Amino acid sequence: MAKEVQRVKLSWWERLYIPTFLNGFKVTLSHFFSFKKSKVYEEKNQDNKFKTTLNYPEELWTVPEGFRGAPYLVSDQNDNTKCVSCQLCEFVCPPKAIRITPPGEDGEDAHREGAEKMPKDFEINMLRCIFCGFCEEVCPEQAIYLAKDYYEGYDEDKMRRDYALTGSSREEMIFHKDKLLERGGTHHDRIKKWEKKTEEAKAQEMFPVDQPEPDNKEASQE
């Protein structure tokens, strides 16, 4: 059933439309003569207290607190690809912006010994992406992040680049693995799941049954 919407009956004064136009001009003119600066531009316009606009892209604005950034792949501190191609982000992505090509049998070996696999290709279509952050939330390997100052080595300029996510063709806006890794930067992984696992396994080849050392035990519980 379609819902019937009652139209507001306009008075004679309102139906003239001229007062509404005048109202609009009033807002524009008030900005034109205003000495107040927009909060967003305040920081950048300290030298010119009369300026309301920004000379983008020479001048860049301060990105608001709530901005999440765009999804990029990160490498660990040893420059290893963290993604293991589990494809959960591809599954959870609401606009289906992510597409992963799994390595297959003959794919390149994973950078980290124990991790066994990593994606052959990882595409994010930035035109499709809605920057919801589900991929980051679902990632079991902490390999994809919406780039913001979540990790060390965060670069203020980088974030601004995210805000102006531009390109001159559709193809250019489909970011591939290398580009995503380059933009994602380094994530300082404290858990080091695969490295630890490999070390443990290597140690066990020499000492099959070993009591864990108290120090290590504490570390693993963290």
Partner 1 sequence: MAEETKTEEPPAIETITVKVDGKSIEVPKLTPDWQGNLVPTTVLQACKHAGIEIPHYCYHPKLPVAGNCRMCLVHVGMPGRPGPDGKPPMNEDGTLKIDPMVLPYERSTPKGVIGCATNLIPGMEIYASSPETKEMREAVLESLLINHPLDCTICDQAGECKLQEYSVEHGQAESQFAEYKVHKPKAVDLGPRIMLDAERCVLCTRCIRFSKDIAEDDALGIVNRGSYNTIATFLDTPFDNNYTLNTADICPVGALTSKDFRFQMRVWFLKETNSLCTGCGTGCNTVIGSRENAMYRYEPRENDAVNGPWMCDEGRLDYKWIGREDRLAEVQGANGWATAITEISGKLEEAAPGSVAIIASARQTNEELYLLKKLAAKLEAPTTTIARTGEADHLLVNADKNPNTTGARLIGIAGEATGNGIAAIAADIESGMIKSLIVFGEDVTQHGISEALLDQLELLVVSDILPNATTAKAHYLLPGCAHAEKRGTFTNVKGRVQKFMKALEAPGDARAEWEFLHELVENTTGQNGFSTIEGLFNQMAGEVEAFKAKELTWAALGDTGVTVEL
Number of residues that bind partner 1 (CB under 8 A): 27
Binding to partner 1 by residue 95, rule CB under 8 A? Answer: no
Binding to partner 1 by residue 111, rule CB under 8 A? Answer: no
The Cα–Cα gap between 86 and 90 comes to 9
Q: Minimal distance in Å, beta carbon 96 to partner 1?
A: 11
Phi, psi (degrees; rounded to nearest 5) at 121 = -145, 150
Binding to partner 1 by residue 197, rule CB under 8 A? Answer: yes
Contact 92, 134 (CB under 8 A): yes
Binding to partner 1 by residue 208, rule CB under 8 A? Answer: yes
The Cα–Cα gap between 35 and 42 comes to 12
Binding to partner 1 by residue 104, rule CB under 8 A? Answer: yes
From candidates 73, 74, 84, 181, binder to partner 1 by CB under 8 A: 84
Q: Can you list the positions of beta strands (E) in the chain?
A: 71-73, 98-101, 121-125, 144-146, 174-175
Distances (CA, A) of 132 to 33, 40, 53, 162, 169: 39, 23, 29, 14, 23
Binding to partner 1 by residue 92, rule CB under 8 A? Answer: no
DSSP β-bridge partners for residue 145: 72
Binding to partner 1 by residue 117, rule CB under 8 A? Answer: yes
Q: Stretches 9-17, 32-40, 86-94, 153-161: which one binds partner 1 (CB under 8 A)?
A: 86-94
The Cα–Cα gap between 178 and 218 comes to 37
Binding to partner 1 by residue 142, rule CB under 8 A? Answer: no
Residue carrying the six token digits 């035109």: 127
Binding to partner 1 by residue 137, rule CB under 8 A? Answer: no
Q: Stretches 26-34, 63-71, 151-159, 196-204: which one binds partner 1 (CB under 8 A)?
A: 196-204
CB nearer partner 1, residue 91 or residue 150: 91
Binding to partner 1 by residue 57, rule CB under 8 A? Answer: no
From candidates 62, 87, 125, 186, binder to partner 1 by CB under 8 A: 87
CB nearer partner 1, residue 107 or residue 133: 107
Please, what is the Cα angle at 83 between 111 and 129, to 5 degrees?
A: 145
The Cα–Cα gap between 195 and 113 comes to 7
Output Rg (C-alpha) for the chain, integer angstroms. Answer: 26
CB nearer partner 1, residue 59 or residue 116: 116
- Interacting residue ranges for partner 1, rule: CB under 8 A: 84-88, 90-91, 102-105, 107, 115-117, 140-141, 193, 197, 200-201, 204, 208, 210-212, 217
